[in-house]
C-alpha cells in the first residue's frame, strides 16, 4: 500500500529523525504534498531536499504545537500525520509544565485536530523509556510487546511520553467529523543513533576535552541495542502503509511496536567507543566512581539542588534516573514490527556504523577548533 498522492504532515520535521523521514517520503512515496511542521524550519533543510522533491509540494508550517488553531490549519486536507516532535530532557533541566505542555498537551491537541480535519492515520513516535528502566534497575533482555515489567516512571520525559502514547492509542477508532474513523499506532524505538545525532556529538566533545579519552558512564555488562535512524524512518513509513491498508488497519490500529535493528547489544559507553575508536578515541576502563557510590552522589546532588531551588535553579549533570538508564540491560526485539508492519531493517550494522563514523569524522575538526577556542 503506497502513500502516493497523499498529503502527509511531519511534526518535528527539522529534527534528527524528522529530516530522514521527510527525505524517505520524497524518495519512495511521491506524496502530493508533505507539510513540514516545526517551531523553526531552517532554509538549509529545504535546500537539502531539493534533489529528491520531484513533483511533491513541500509546505512549511512554523508554529507552536500547543496552538490548536495552528494545528487545525496545518492538518486541513491531510490524510496522514507522523508525530515526531517532542521535548527530550535527559538532565531534567526544563520545568515539568513545559515538557508536559509539548509532549502531552501538544499530542492531545494534534489528535483533536485530526478528528476535526478528518485525518485518517496517526503515527506516534514513542520511546522504550515509556517501559523503563524502573528505579530498581530491573533488566529486560530481548523484550517484546507482551513483556510484563514493573514500570515505575519518575523521569519527566518518560512520564510525559507514556501519557502521550496512551492518549494516542486510546484515540484509535475515534469518529472523524466526516463519519470516518481515526487509526493510530505508536512506535517505541530504542536509542536512535546515526549521522546527525547530537548526543553522539556531545560525547565526542567530552572525549576531546578529556584528551581523546571517552568517559565511561555505563558498565560493560549493561547491554542495550541502539537503532539506526534510517531504519527508524523506514519503520514509520511501513506503519503508515499498514494503517492505510484495509486488510491491516484493524490489526495495527491501537497498538505499539518496539523498533530495533541488527546493531549488536553493548553498553552505551562501549557503543560510543565502537563508533569513535576509528577516529583515535580510547575509553576509560572503569566508571569514574563505583556504581553504588555514584548513585549516592547523585542523590546528594539532587537533594542539594532541591533545597536551593527556591533561590537558584541548578541542574546536576547526572541524576539517579539517568545513571540507572545507562547501567541497566534493556534490549528489545523488532519481531512484532516485522510480523505486523513488514518492517525489516534497511541498513545493516556495518553500513550504519560506517555512515555514523564518517559523519563524526566530518564534524571532528570543527569540534576540536570550537573546544580549543573556548
What residues act catalytically?
Answer: 157
- Rounded to whole angstroms, what are the CA distances from 30 to 5, 6, 21, 77, 337? 7, 8, 13, 17, 24
Grid cell for residue 2: 503506497
Grid cell for residue 258: 518496539
DSSP 248-273: THHHHTTEEEEE--SPPPB-HHHHHH
Strands 33-38 and 7-11, bridge-based pairing: parallel
- Rounded to whole angstroms, what are the CA distances from 43 to 40, 53, 127, 270? 9, 15, 29, 36
In angstroms, the CA 267 to CA 263 distance is 12
- Rounded to whole angstroms, what are the CA distances from 53 to 57, 76, 83, 229, 294? 8, 21, 21, 20, 50
- Convert 116-164 into a string of H (helix), E (strand) and C (coil): HCCCCEEEEECCHHHCCCCCCCCCEEEECCCCCCCCCCCCHHHHHHHHH
Grid cell for residue 46: 529545504
Amino acid at each position: 500500500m503506497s502513500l502516493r498522492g497523499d498529503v502527509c504532515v511531519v511534526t518535528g520535521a527539522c529534527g534528527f529523525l524528522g529530516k530522514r523521514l521527510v527525505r524517505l517520503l520524497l524518495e519512495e512515496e511521491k506524496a502530493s504534498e508533505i507539510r513540514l511542521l516545526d517551531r523553526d524550519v531552517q532554509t538549509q533543510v529545504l535546500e537539502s531536499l531539493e534533489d529528491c522533491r520531484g513533483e511533491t509540494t513541500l509546505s512549511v508550517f512554523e508554529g507552536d504545537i500547543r496552538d490548536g488553531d495552528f494545528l487545525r490549519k496545518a492538518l486541513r486536507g491531510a490524510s496522514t500525520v507522523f508525530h515526531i516532535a517532542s521535548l527530550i530532557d535527559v538532565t531534567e533541566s526544563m520545568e515539568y509544565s513545559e515538557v508536559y505542555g509539548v509532549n502531552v498537551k501538544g499530542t492531545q491537541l494534534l489528535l483533536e485536530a485530526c478528528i476535526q480535519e478528518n485525518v485518517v492515520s496517526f503515527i506516534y513516535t514513542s520511546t522504550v523509556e515509556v517501559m523503563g528502566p524502573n528505579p530498581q534497575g530491573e533488566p529486560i533482555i530481548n523484550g517484546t510487546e507482551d513483556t510484563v515489567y514493573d514500570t515505575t516512571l519518575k523521569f519527566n520525559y518518560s512520564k510525559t511520553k507514556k501519557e502521550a502514547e496512551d492518549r494516542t492509542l486510546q484515540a484509535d477508532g475515534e469518529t472523524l467529523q466526516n463519519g470516518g474513523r481515526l487509526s493510530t499506532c505508536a512506535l517505541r524505538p530504542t536509542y536512535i543513533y546515526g549521522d546527525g545525532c547530537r548526543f553522539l556529538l556531545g560525547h565526542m566533545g567530552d572525549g576531546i576535552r578529556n584528551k581523546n579519552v571517552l568517559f565511561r558512564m555505563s558498565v560493560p555488562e549493561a547491554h542495550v541495542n541502539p537503532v539506526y535512524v534510517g531504519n527508524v524512518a523506514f519503520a514509520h513509513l511501513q506503519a503508515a502503509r499498514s494503517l492505510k491498508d484495509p486488510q491491516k488497519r484493524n490489526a495495527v490500529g491501537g497498538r505499539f511496536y518496539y523498533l530495533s535493528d541488527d546493531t549488536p547489544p553493548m553498553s552505551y559507553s562501549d557503543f560510543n567507543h565502537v563508533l569513535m575508536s576509528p577516529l583515535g578515541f580510547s575509553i576509560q576502563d572503569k566508571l569514574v566512581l563505583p556504581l553504588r557510590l555514584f548513585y549516592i552522589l547523585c542523590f546528594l546532588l539532587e537533594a542539594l539542588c532541591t533545597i536551593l531551588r527556591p533561590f537558584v535553579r541548578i541542574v546536576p549533570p547526572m541524576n539517579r534516573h539517568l545513571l540507572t538508564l545507562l547501567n541497566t540491560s534493556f534490549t528489545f526485539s523488532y519481531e512484532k514490527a516485522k510480523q505486523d508492519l513488514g518492517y525489516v531493517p534497511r541498513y545493516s550494522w556495518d553500513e550504519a556504523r560506517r555512515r555514523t563514523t564518517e559523519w563524526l569524522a566530518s564534524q571532528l575538526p570543527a569540534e576540536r577548533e570550537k573546544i580549543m577556542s573556548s
